[in-house]
A and B are shown apart, each in its own frame.
Chain A
Amino acid sequence: MGSKLSSIEDAVAVVESGMTIGIGGWGSRRKPMALIRALARGPATDLTVVTYGGPDVGLLAAAGKIRKLVSGFVSLDSIALEPHFRAARQRGEIEYAELDEGMLQWGLLAAAHRLPFLPIRAGLGSDVPATFPGLRTVTSPYADGEELVAMPALTLDVAFVHANRADAAGNAALLGPDPYFDDLYCLAARHRVLSCERVVETAELTKEGPVQALRINRMMVDAVVETPNGAHFTSCVPDYDRDEAFQRAYAAAAGGDGSGWPAFRDRYLAGDEATYQRAVREDREALA
């Protein structure tokens, strides 16, 4: 098994302007934030972003990277609405292809299975056909004749996901209670980048959790990046919970008239990932 270990910078350098990227996790939970922070300071722009949205959308929106968003919500969970997302939307800056949560899963599954679409009931009767332009229906060829939504495949150029553990080849353990849809993002993408809390020997992967935690294997991954605390400030259980104090500070800086954002950005996001993590550690030491 060849090593796929990569630096953060090399791993995100595959993203070119105009690409469609998918981001694992859910809301403010197990988001590949180290990779997102790198994307936000990188050159690629004009992105289409497919995600169960959280601060990944917020950071990319604040950096002006998103042309189009495909999602059913953008939330910080303990704070209902992502403030950067709210501001960008209310300024009319993001084209929002808004769809039902289940439709997003179906779109990823269709892409994973190399199908043009999958039928689903969700969306019928709602304004999803208006908010997700181009959506079509399909009539069952069987006796029932039901007319259902034909959810198109959401094929991704690049997928970014964050795991608890991985080996250098890209076999990964998701040790928390919910795998979210990370395996589907990997299956739906042409190029797959996996960050993790810790790179371990392959034999270690089944030591900390059941074999069912190995939702992602090496044929689903092209690059592996070790990013300790790399989901911060989102949760990455059992390694750590969401940093609620930091998230509150983030939301306060991003909200209101936006005047608090430059100071926050300069303190945490102006440098590389090591600089970010150092600032987070300094905060903790100051509180201790």
Chain B
Amino acid sequence: MSGTTATGTAQPRVARRADVCALACAEAFRGEGEILASAFGTAPALGARLARRSFAPDLLLSDGEAMLMADTLPLGPAPADAVVEGWLPFRAVFDVVASGRRHVIMIPSQLDAHGNMNISAIGQHARPKAQLIGTRGAPGNTVNHRTSYWVPKHSPRVFVEKVDVVCGVGHDRARAAGPAASRFHRLGRVVTDLAVLDFDTPDNRMRLASVHPGVSVDEVLAATGFPLVLPEAGAAAVPTTPQPSAAQLELLDLLDPKGLRYREVPA
């Protein structure tokens, strides 16, 4: 029987790093109510599902194409008999973006201390050293509704002093652009494979909110290309990211039966 040893003693399931990341992404959606949760990457996609199945039941989830799904389905293509609760083609997504009833988790190629985000190009825009996927909906998302970020591999290449192209708008740029830009500008959290970061500081500079179990504060600081804000009491006061409960781990297995999350974050 799974979960039971030969002697019949229950074997406590130990959460792996990817499980912690999925829960940290789920927590981004806590208290969001009846809005569209959009998620890029495995941990965010799982997180949105976990949130809806536990503490944020009113979230709306799409199938990645044009349907809103009533069922909270495992990762992968939706089965043919899955219940559809709404129609959401791309143009309707744009309407939702502008209405503000959405929270997206995007994957930045570069992110700075103010939350400016780049997915357009590395180097000069006219002739990039590396062409990236393109600015997509990042400019509109960030000035219209809450935007969080997922960084599957925390490194100084992602966390940079200055991003090469501002696609997603950070706090400093939103303020400088005036009231129309800052009116609905709300950045959420930044979840990485090492830590949770946020902007809950007086000047909205990025803060180390928690480190994942088994990760040291120094490790996170060394993997970040700019100084992170730490608690006044010092590095020792940085909390540890919560681990999923046994019930949440079971849910994660149900929602990701193939264990795709362990491929995204192998630690």
A178 to B88: give the CA distance in the assembly, Å: 8
The reply to whether B67 and A103 form a contact with Cβ atoms under 8 Å apart is no
Q: Decide if A71 is an interface residue (CB 8 Å cutoff).
A: yes
Residues facing B in A183-204 (CB within 8 A) are none
A147 to B180: give the CA distance in the assembly, Å: 6
A235 to B121: give the CA distance in the assembly, Å: 28
The reply to whether B128 and A125 form a contact with Cβ atoms under 8 Å apart is no
Given contacts A81-B132, A101-B136, contact A177 B89 (CB under 8 A): yes
Q: Decide if A122 is an interface residue (CB 8 Å cutoff).
A: yes
The reply to whether A177 and B168 form a contact with Cβ atoms under 8 Å apart is no
| A113 contacts across to B, CB distance below 8 A | none
Given contacts A124-B180, A127-B166, contact A81 B185 (CB under 8 A): no
Q: Decide if A239 is an interface residue (CB 8 Å cutoff).
A: no
The reply to whether A99 and B98 form a contact with Cβ atoms under 8 Å apart is no
Given contacts A73-B133, A100-B135, A105-B94, contact A131 B125 (CB under 8 A): yes
The reply to whether A90 and B131 form a contact with Cβ atoms under 8 Å apart is yes
Q: How many A-B residue pairs have CB under 8 A?
A: 144
The reply to whether A125 and B133 form a contact with Cβ atoms under 8 Å apart is no
Q: List the B residue with the shortest CB-CB distance to A183.
A: B91
Q: Decide if B16 is an interface residue (CB 8 Å cutoff).
A: no
Chain A min CB distance to B69 (Å): 12
The reply to whether A177 and B179 form a contact with Cβ atoms under 8 Å apart is no
Q: Decide if B25 is an interface residue (CB 8 Å cutoff).
A: no
Chain A min CB distance to B86 (Å): 11
Q: Produce 1/0 per residue, B161-199, CB < 8 A to A.
A: 000011111000110111111111100000000000000
The 8 Å CB contact of B89, one of A99, A125, A179, is A179
Residues facing B in A110-153 (CB within 8 A) are 120-128, 130-131, 146-148
The reply to whether A122 and B134 form a contact with Cβ atoms under 8 Å apart is no
The reply to whether B128 and A90 form a contact with Cβ atoms under 8 Å apart is yes
| A177 contacts across to B, CB distance below 8 A | 65-67, 87, 89
A105 to B95: give the CA distance in the assembly, Å: 11
Q: What are 21 residue pairs bridging A and B, where the CB atoms are less than 8 Å apart in the complex?
A: A71-B134, A75-B133, A81-B132, A89-B127, A102-B94, A102-B137, A103-B139, A124-B139, A124-B180, A125-B143, A125-B169, A126-B139, A126-B142, A126-B169, A127-B165, A130-B125, A131-B125, A146-B180, A177-B89, A178-B66, A179-B89
The 9 closest A-B pairs by CB, nearest first: A122-B140, A73-B134, A92-B127, A125-B177, A124-B181, A177-B66, A125-B169, A126-B139, A178-B66
